[in-house]
Amino acid sequence: MSVTRTYLVDEDPFDSLICPARALGLTTGRIFLIGDDDRCLVRCRSEADIDLIYLYLTGPDRRWQVAVVDGQIHVPSLWRDEIAEAIKDSPYSEVAQVLIAVDLSLPTANEHDRLTQAITSAGHYVEVRAVT
């Protein structure tokens, strides 16, 4: 039986997740299907920041569809790069972090641990959560 975890990474999933997984030989589970499964989150430092950044991202000159769910701004993965660039060039770059969330199934928890270490050693930010 496989073990599923949600990975939150700071870069395109191919570079930050698939490449380290391939280097470890972890080619099982849904690892090559994440293009269909990934989603983008904007994590903010405070609720006030969430409100300000939400207004910034939904301004009249923006075409992005974003929603606030459970204290985070959720963005369709289609807009990931544009959102990251817009925030990086905005006054909110210090209070917001753009993360990609991916559910990944691997045969054992140990393989998740190995993958997390590989992602970190490659210089990427990663959080791993158990799927409930």
Number of domains in the chain: 1
pTM above 0.75, yes or no: yes
Dihedral sign for Cα atoms in the order 49, 116, 33, 108: negative
- CATH number of the domain within which 57 lies: 3.30.70
- Can you give the residue range of the structural domain that contains 52? 3-130
- Counting residues of the chain whose pLDDT is more than 90, the rounded percentage is 36
* Average confidence (pLDDT) over 14-32: 77
Residue 30, pLDDT score: 56
* Position 3 pLDDT exceeds 80: yes
Contact 17, 125 (CB under 8 A): no
Q: Mean pLDDT across the chain, nearest whole number?
A: 86
80-111: string of b/e by CB count within 10 Å (b at 16+)?
Answer: beebbebbeeeebeebbbbbbbbbbbbeeeeb
Confidence of residue 29 (pLDDT cuts 50, 70, 90): low
